[in-house]
Structures are given as C-alpha cells and as structure tokens.
Amino acid sequence: MPSHRRPRLLAPLLLIPLLSSCFASGGGGDSGDGGGKGGDGSRLRVALAFPPAENLSPYGADATLLSRLGVTEGLTSLDANGSAAPALAESWRRDGDKAWEFTLRDAVFQDGTAVTPAAVAASLGKATGADPAPAALEGVTLTARGSGDRVVRITTDEPDPVLPLRLSSPSLAVLSKDAYAKGGRVDPLGHATGPFELTEVNGATSASLDRFDDYWGGRAQASGIDARFIADGTARANALRTGELDIAEAVPVAQAASLDKETRRDTATTRTTSLLLNASSGTFQDAGLRAAARAGLDTSVFAKDVYEGYGDPGAGVYGPAVTWAEGKRTKPVGRADAGKPDGETVHLATYDNRPELPEVAQVVKQQLEKAGFKVKLTVREYSRLEGDALDGKFDAFVLARNTLLDTGDPVAVLASDYTCDGGYNIAQLCDEGVDRAVADAEKTADTAKRQDAALAAEARILGSDAVLPLVHQRIITGVADSVQGVILDPYERTLVGTGTRR
C-alpha cells in the first residue's frame, strides 16, 4: 500500500489579488488598483463557505481563507494563464540548476516593518519547518537567505524548474517576524502584506478586516470587510437575496435560480469532481472491476442534472479552465478490459461540505448498482472522513479537487494524488508506469514541454481507472447589484482586491 504524508485539509476545500485584472471582475466594474480613486468606499459584507479550521494557520486549508479575503500574499502569484506573476517579488531569475534569485519590491508588513530579504527568508524557513509541511512543499526541500538589500536567494536540494509557480501557493504567504512569536502558532493578524488587514476573528463565526493604507499595490477602494463564515449554502444565498450580504461565495447550484440573473456569476474553475477507486485493496484492487465501474458510469448526467448546467462533463484530471490542455489530451494508456461484477460490495464515501457531492454520490451509487455492484454509502463532514480516506478504508470516494490550488503546477497534483509516495493518494494508486511518467514530467523545465509531459502522465493515470472524472465545476458567486470588482478566479485563490467596492 502506498505511504502517505497527510496534508492539513488543504486539497478538497478551498493568493491574494496582486494583479487583480488577471481574472474576470464581477459587477460590471474594472478591478483597478484603487490607488487613484479615493479609496474611501463602504465596507464589504462577505460570506465564505468554510470556517477557519486551524486557527488561521497559513499552512493548511485556512491559507485560502486569508488569500481570498486579501490578507496574505507570497513572492509570486498566478496570472490568468496559470503562469507565475510578480507579487512581493517584482522579478526573478534562475542561477544554475538549484538556485533562484528573487528581487523584492518596496513593501511593508501591516505591522509597519519592512519586507526585507531577511524577513522573507525567515518566513519561508518557518514554512519549510512546519509539521506537516505545506502541500506546496511536498517532495521539495528549500533554503532561503537574504542576498543584499533586495534579493532573496532560494536553493533546492534537487532542481525545481517550477519554483516561482510553487511560491505562488497561499500556504507560502510571507508574514512578518512577530507572526511567529506565539510558540508553535502562527498569527496572521496584523502581520501580513495584503490590501486588507485582519483585525478580529470571532471563532468560526466571523472576522473583521480593515483596509491597509500602506499596501504596495495602492489603497483598496473598500474601507474594510465584514466576513461571515456560513457553511449552509441556502443561508448564504438567502442572506444575499435579502440584502444582508454584498458577496456570497460558492452558491449551491440548487440555489442559483433563487438569485436574480444579475446577481450571480458562474466561473469555470480548475476544480474537478471525480470518483476515486481504491486500487490497492478491496473490490477495486481488480483492474477489470475498475474498468467495469468506469463502463457503468454515465458522466453526462452530472454536469447536466446534478450541477444543472453549471459544469462541464468530466474529460480528465484537468478541466476546460486549464486552457492549454484543450485539444492536446491523448487517449488513456493501458486500460484493462472490463470484468463482470457479481454483486461485489463497494463502500463509497463523500462529504457534505460541498452540497452537490452527496447528490453526486447518490447517482454514482445508483449507476454502480445497475452495473452489478452492491454499494454502501457514507456521507460525513470532510474532516471526519479524511483520515480514513487516506488510509484506504473506502473502496470508492467522490472528491472535488482543485487541481492547481496547491502550487499552480499541473504536475504537482499528479505527484501528490496518483504516485506511490503521493501525500494525497486517496486512490491508493501505485503503478510503476505512472510514477515514471510523473517523474519525467517533474524533470521538464520548458513550460510547453512540461504541459505535454503532464498530459502524457495523465493518460497513464486515466488508463489505470483509479480516477474517473465526473464533472468539471463552475463556481457560482453571488454578487449584489451595487458591488463592482469581485475577482472571479478559476484557481479559487482570490475573491476581493483593491478594486472591489460598493
């Protein structure tokens, strides 16, 4: 059975809007930098779907809460094409196989201290020493140190051609020295660099943020944010409809029709909902039965019926939002012939944090039963399932996975989810051909060739039938008529920026 190093609830749940014009801006206005437009607007009322799970640690799932609210940022960000873009680092260059030099822009932390090479190196050092390490650092050992007044030099034990992409991860946000003053806990309040400063957190209920007037990218147009954590999707939609909210993220598809057309935005994302089959034990250890499960699925119904058109039929690990993959995907390699199910029992599981997943699982259950399997279904909150899923205690698992969230590197998700030593290998896949293809892709530095290598590895992964893509999700964001500049980010890292206002 594959070994696993568990991440901190990052993958299935949800950087900061550095170049906010990179992504579509909801509400009809530009997303602008806000620097020359007064910046004295009203506070924004925002509802997020997931409450803090780890005391707002930047190393796990809460990292994206901080980035979506405009609190944190790293050395780089992602642009609309999935390439590394400047953030706290205004430029970078590679120096040999194992070293990179990042030139910092003139910026300050929210506590007034300067963003210096030493501060950045210290912050990255804390991330590399975290236990468990952030998912973006899986399989990578790096060392950062200051070099002169503006340069941070980062070296890796092995060549890492996508380090600038890796450093865009929300879990590698740069914080000031005092963020690490409370023993083992990392405190982002007042210690980040984004346009909004976190000033108060009320448990898992709400948070308050004020505009950070010294933000290097210009003053935000909103004066602050009042954030609420509302897990119930119906409640989020109702609060938007009744005027209690300005922005509601992740509106369930079942609630989309309850919102006026002008107040809902749907965005193709890099999130794919898949059926993962346990390839190492139980019923689906048999490749022929995995092939039979694949043959028994009608994936067209998920986008059309379950997601009510807010999705695209599953085509692979990467969906339509990953534009470079379109037209380049090759056929799956090495598929087994389908066996004949004879009432084998399958334990299927999913979680209810995303309201569509239980319905997806019900449809999967019906289709597998029609194909000849007996299916037991378990639905629980995600945190109560993750350990068992990673330990291979389920035969099948319905997972919504943002394939580019952790690093922005298309190869990273393959290494994490589908190789023998992958840290998030719920499918329990351990295949020599897959491992070789992923390793070849990891060694490829040229962007276009790396993408081709990723698709070649994807073909082998799909050929194993350990992952059966069901639907590529479109995320629905509720936006009040009065609001402009909401950032509709396919990577789900950003939501509000300097130009978001009402």
pLDDT > 80? residue 207 = yes
Q: Considering the domain 269-474 in this protein, what is its CATH number? A: 3.10.105.10
> Which residue is associated with the tokens 């448990």?
203
User: What is the band of 224 on the pLDDT scale with cuts at 50, 70, 90?
Assistant: very high
Lowest pLDDT segment from 89-98, 430-439, 488-497: 488-497
- 298-334 pLDDT, tens per residue? 999 999 999 998 999 998 998 888 888 877 888 999 9
- 364-398 pLDDT, tens per residue? 999 999 999 999 999 998 888 999 999 999 999 99
pLDDT > 50? residue 357 = yes
Q: Which residues pair with 362 in a beta bridge?
A: none
- The C-alpha atoms of residue 384 and residue 411 are separated, in whole angstroms, by 28
The pLDDT value recorded for residue 27 is 53
Mean pLDDT, the chain, rounded, equals 89
Contacts of 500 (CB under 8 A, 6+ apart): 17, 31, 44, 220, 221, 222, 247, 483, 484, 485, 486, 487
User: What is the band of 25 on the pLDDT scale with cuts at 50, 70, 90?
Assistant: low
49 vs 132, higher pLDDT: 49
The pLDDT value recorded for residue 38 is 40
429 vs 83, higher pLDDT: 429
The pLDDT value recorded for residue 6 is 42
- The C-alpha atoms of residue 110 and residue 114 are separated, in whole angstroms, by 9
The pLDDT value recorded for residue 137 is 87
The pLDDT value recorded for residue 8 is 38
pLDDT > 90? residue 456 = yes
> Which residue is associated with the tokens 């696993």?
4
Lowest pLDDT segment from 11-25, 219-233, 300-314, 487-501: 11-25
Q: Which CATH number fits domain 20-260+481-488: 3.40.50.300, 2.60.120.560, 3.40.190.10, 1.10.3470.10?
A: 3.40.190.10
Domain boundaries, the chain: 20-260+481-488, 269-474
The pLDDT value recorded for residue 40 is 64
Q: What is the mean pLDDT of residues 117-128?
A: 96
Contacts of 21 (CB under 8 A, 6+ apart): 30, 31, 32
- 151-198 pLDDT, tens per residue? 999 999 999 988 999 999 999 999 999 999 877 789 999 999 999 999
The pLDDT value recorded for residue 394 is 98
pTM over 0.75: yes
- What are the tokens at 352? 């209810």
Q: What is the mean pLDDT of residues 127-141?
A: 85
pLDDT > 90? residue 89 = yes
How many residues are there in the chain? 502
